[in-house]
């Protein structure tokens, strides 16, 4: 029995037969970032997915006590590709890439893409150029020019955040007009479709907006009535989550197989699913935090009866616990990803840019 998702307008829909994704990005044992945030949603939407882990860590890097694990080398990546090819297993319709933290891996990625397109010239490459966020690079600076000169030009769909598109174009983005100009610059470099996945634009008076902006732009021929450029406003949630960019890129890939000529519809459907996941995660985090604080209060009371406890140490313990409580509730959001809510019902707006 085939898997069928349901669009917000109530239509059951499936990816084209034979759709298979190779996803190359990070992996964590516990939590949902990288491939742990991408593979399950794609499979849920009906795509076959093969995963290569660019890193294998115990947990994501935001935990206070750090992480343990290993980083894959370019030679190791190429060895896997050779093994697949020697057995006739390179049959991919899509390539998805996320965090790649070393120069050798990124340079090998160019070879991988060329080899995949040798077997399928029509392969769609969805590139989430994970460089950094909020003014800070997550990767070595020498990776930026490789993205600019090699990776971006080969991408079919590019999903940078505001900081990443500034790094890729050398352009400062302070407005929607700036974002469209940056998209035009990237289009000339190669990608047919671009989605700026999060952008913080100030109000005219300089104050913070109560929403985040996403900007979409495509030069692919769209179905009649679909905008080629659009601005989406998403209500801010009072919490920070990790893995949201990875999840959005995967959902966009999944829904774009079903709406290949309507980037706005694919984006809105993916966003509806993402927001449902985040809201469920935020609600679960509040409950878990309350339970954790009750346990910590009980523990402190017990310890105070026996000895003096350093309150600073207690607070640090609470902070560490709260990070784990904000891991994405992917499994619990299965139905939301299969049947995303209509964006209007959760306060998301779409405006065409003329």
Task: Tell which residue, 306, 283, 286, has the closest CA to residue 294.
Answer: 286
Alpha helices in the chain (DSSP H): 35-44, 74-86, 103-119, 143-146, 152-154, 162-169, 176-189, 244-258, 263-304, 311-325, 334-338
Burial call 52-76: b when 16+ CB within 10 Å, e when fewer: bbbbbbebbeebeeeeeeebbebee
DSSP calls for 299-332:
HHHHHHTTS---HHHHHHHHHHHHHHHTS--TGG
Our measurement of the distance from residue 102's CA atom to the centroid of its chain's CA atoms, rounded to an integer in Å, reads 19
- Which residues are catalytically annotated? 246
The full 3-state SS of 220-244, as one line of letters, equals: CCCCCCCCCEEEEEEECCCCCCCCH
């Amino acid at each position: 029995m085939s898997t069928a998702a349901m669009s917000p307008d109530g239509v059951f829909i499936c990816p084209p037969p034979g759709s298979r994704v190779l996803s190359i990005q990070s992996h964590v044992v516990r939590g949902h970032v990288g491939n742990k945030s991408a593979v399950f949603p794609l499979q849920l939407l009906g795509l076959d997915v093969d995963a290569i882990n660019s890193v294998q860590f115990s947990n994501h890097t935001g935990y206070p006590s750090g992480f343990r694990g290993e980083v894959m080398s370019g030679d190791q990546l190429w060895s896997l590709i050779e093994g697949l090819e020697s057995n006739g297993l390179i049959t991919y319709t899509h390539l998805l890439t996320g965090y790649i933290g070393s120069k050798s891996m990124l340079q090998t990625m160019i070879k991988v893409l060329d080899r995949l397109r040798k077997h399928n010239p029509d392969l769609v490459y969805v590139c989430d150029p994970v460089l950094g966020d909020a003014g800070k690079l997550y990767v070595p600076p020498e990776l930026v020019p490789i993205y600019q000169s090699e990776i971006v030009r080969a991408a079919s769909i590019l999903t940078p955040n505001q900081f990443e598109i500034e790094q890729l174009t050398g352009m400062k983005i302070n407005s929607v007009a700036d974002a469209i100009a940056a998209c035009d610059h990237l289009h000339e470099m190669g990608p047919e479709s671009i989605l700026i996945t999060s952008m913080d634009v100030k109000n005219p008076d300089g104050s913070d907006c109560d929403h985040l902006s996403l900007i979409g732009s495509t030069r692919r021929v769209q179905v009649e009535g679909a905008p080629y450029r659009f601005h989406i406003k998403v209500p801010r949630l009072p919490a920070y989550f990790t893995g949201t960019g990875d999840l959005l890129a995967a959902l966009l890939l999944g829904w774009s197989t079903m709406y290949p000529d309507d980037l706005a519809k694919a984006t809105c459907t993916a966003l509806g699913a993402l927001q449902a996941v985040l809201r469920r995660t935020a609600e679960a985090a509040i409950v878990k935090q309350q339970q954790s604080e009750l346990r910590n209060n009980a523990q402190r009371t017990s310890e105070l009866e026996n000895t003096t406890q350093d309150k600073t140490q207690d607070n640090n313990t609470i902070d560490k616990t709260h990070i784990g409580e904000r891991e994405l509730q992917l499994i619990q959001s299965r139905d939301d990803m299969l049947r995303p809510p209509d964006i209007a019902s959760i306060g998301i707006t779409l405006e065409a840019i003329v």
